[in-house]
Amino acid sequence: MQTEEEFKDFILNGHLHYIPNVSIDCAIFGYHEQTLKLMLIRHRNMSSWSLPGGHIKRSETLVEAASRNVRMHTGLDNLFLQQFKTFGDPNRIQFNKFDKEKWFEITGLTSWEGNWLMDHTISVGFYAVTDFSETVLQTDISIAECAWFDIGSLPPLEFDHSEMVKEALHTMRLHLYHYPIGLNMLPEKFTLSEIHALYETLLGKKLDVSNFPKKLIALGLLNKLTEKRSIGAHRSPHLYSFDREKYTLALKEGLVLS
Amino acid sequence: MQTEEEFKDFILNGHLHYIPNVSIDCAIFGYHEQTLKLMLIRHRNMSSWSLPGGHIKRSETLVEAASRNVRMHTGLDNLFLQQFKTFGDPNRIQFNKFDKEKWFEITGLTSWEGNWLMDHTISVGFYAVTDFSETVLQTDISIAECAWFDIGSLPPLEFDHSEMVKEALHTMRLHLYHYPIGLNMLPEKFTLSEIHALYETLLGKKLDVSNFPKKLIALGLLNKLTEKRSIGAHRSPHLYSFDREKYTLALKEGLVLS
């Protein structure tokens, strides 16, 4: 949505194009050099931050809706994108948090009675992981701000979004034991130290040295290259890359990595 | 729903009490003596089998709706009940599969135009695990049959329910590495062979001898009892029981079991 006219049409007639009573929310995690961040947005009619999200077009799958949302905010495609949980507690959304009177000006409405956006909404949570240094954050007409926050110092979030972040982190960390998810967060060629640091940062804890990398090698997911990196006198660790074919298969079927 | 009158009111006015456009479906797995089964139902106006499911009351959480559904069909409470995935592909439900004309007689409707049940519906999948020998299967006014099927020989299922079963199995098997889920499927006191057999049956594959049990003992989730079971001359393996406190905590926080 780029224009006021589109925004108005969405509020008034969105249920013709989108499924009512259902939304998606996306926890986009960003990794770079041993730092983990989370992308947050601030809606133009709200004072606090929240996860980016939106509605599902009647013609698209849930993951297509999530991909569209992530692409819209980060400019990136083909991220590792997974459902983590669906949220549906009664009263999970307090509509009084929206400064809805501002919308009256845009829409010409004088009451929200019967408006499709104001009914009970359950939300399907997706998480994505990417290298935050490669993203170009973007807003649209409904969003005032969009920014990366350190995972350890998030601002207060709207609705049940703090719970969503907790659950997204929990599921992402569990998935680390079953899916290879480094492809978007490491350079094409990397050292075992680099992938070890990635796992430690995502898990938020120290690991036995090269626990994960060793298992990835044993499963054939990492290829040892002849090339080395020179990082100082007498220190030139081997470089590795992901085996794309096995990586894709493991993403589909899952594995046991611990 | 037990009466025709309640069923009619559900079809005509259900959207007042239930959230439209959203349902839940439950894959209820049943274990007993190294056999894994799945519970299926046949709706009274359909010819094929499907997972049990239903709608979410406006006053309840998603997991409350799933619990209510599982309890209604099995008579059991407090099962290990987890979301596995939410399904929302366009056209995932072919409404022509319902013999809807039969409903015309009940409802007095002559057209489905605008009926809340006929719109795009996404469904939140839950799975549960239990001992099938302890369940008493129950139907209601909307269901013709309810039965356990061996996991290896399921009948063709309606809609996207075969995909749901596949995903439920996948997630349940992944969760086996992170949550203790034997409590409802083993007797109060059991041998290591019994819990080993449970894991092998649920995972659908052979495991290294006592891999999972050893880890459960190391994590303090199993208590070794002084009591033994006599199973023949010179064979009397120790009995074990779950440590309820640690079990409950592990269910909440997750762990690494492999």
Predicted pLDDT at B258: 60
> At A44, is the pLDDT very low, low, confident or very high (cuts 50, 70, 90)?
confident
- Which residues 175-214 on chain A approach chain B with CB closer than 8 angstroms? 177-178
Which residues of chain A are within 8 Å of residue B258 when distances are taken between CB atoms?
A: 177, 256, 258
Residue A128 vs residue B256, higher pLDDT: A128
The residues near A53 (Cβ < 8 Å, ≥ 6 apart) are A23, A24, A25, A26, A69, A123
Reported confidence tier of residue B208, pLDDT bands at 50, 70, 90: confident
Q: Has residue A99 got a pLDDT over 70?
A: no
Reported ipTM: the value is: 0.92
With beta carbons less than 8 A apart as the criterion, state whether A191 and A238 touch: yes
Do A60 and B90 count as a contact with CB atoms less than 8 A apart? Answer: yes
β-sheet bridge partners, residue A228:
A238
Closest-CA distance, A29 to chain B, in angstroms, reads: 20
Cα–Cα distance for residue pair A135/A150, rounded to 1 Å:
15
Question: pLDDT > 70: what percent of chain A?
Answer: 97
Interface touch B19/A120, C-beta < 8 Å: yes
- Cβ-Cβ contacts under 8 Å, A254 against chain B: 170, 174
Which range (B24-38, B141-155, B195-209) has the least confidence? B195-209
- Tell me how far apart the alpha carbons of residues A84 and A27 are, in angstroms, rounded to a whole number: 9
Q: What is the pLDDT of residues B78-94, one digit of tens each?
A: 788 999 999 999 989 87
Residues B251 and B183: their CA atoms lie apart, in Å, by 11
| Residue A153 pLDDT greater than 80, yes or no | yes
Q: Which residue of A has its CA nearest to B84?
A: A85
| Domains of chain B and CATH, by start | 4-163 (3.90.79.10), 192-253 (1.10.10.10)
Q: What is the pLDDT of residues B101-150, one digit of tens each?
A: 777 877 888 888 889 988 899 999 999 999 999 888 988 888 999 999 99
Q: How far is A172 from chain B (nearest CA, A)?
A: 12
pLDDT band at B214 (very low <50, low <70, confident <90, very high): confident
Long-range contacts (CB closer than 8 Å, 24 or more residues apart) made by B231-239: B237/B191, B237/B192, B237/B193, B238/B191, B238/B192, B239/B189, B239/B190, B239/B191
**How much is the mean pLDDT over chain A?**
90
For range B40-61, the mean pLDDT: 93
Quick check: A90 and B61 CB within 8 A? yes
pLDDT exceeds cutoff 90 at B4: no
**Span A13-26, mean pLDDT?**
96
Which pair of structure tokens corresponds to residue A112? 């929200």
